[in-house]
Amino acid sequence: MDDVIKLIKVTEGERDEYGNPELVRSSIEVFCRVESVSRTEFYQAAQTGLHPSYTFVLTHYMDYHGEQEIEYIDWMGETHRYDIIRTYKRDDELELITQERINE
């Protein structure tokens, strides 16, 4: 595992003066391996309107606690945000299939 990502959990906090909940983001850093999404998965997801970008493979599934977003700094130093659209556990590893966030 040679990459690091931030797993971001989004929860509702206090309500504003209009009664809308404020979103609170908390994050932890974990080691991972970055892989491409398979062709099959990419095309099947596209049929349902999803556009998977990357698969982030965590060393141990216990590192994941239901977070909804990922922040990843690529090899060029650019920060990207992804939504987790699916998880898949294999042995002790956990695959997080993601879709890049738009308008961030």
pTM beyond 0.85: no
Architecture of domain 3-100: Beta Barrel (2.40)
Query: What pLDDT is recorded for position 27?
Result: 95
Q: What is the pLDDT of residues 23-33, one digit of tens each?
A: 999 999 999 99
- β-bridge partners, 54: 36
Q: What is the pLDDT of residues 53-104, one digit of tens each?
A: 899 999 888 899 999 999 999 889 999 999 999 999 988 999 999 998 876 5
CA atoms within 13 A on the CB side of 5: 29
Question: Where exactly are the structural domains of the chain?
Answer: 3-100
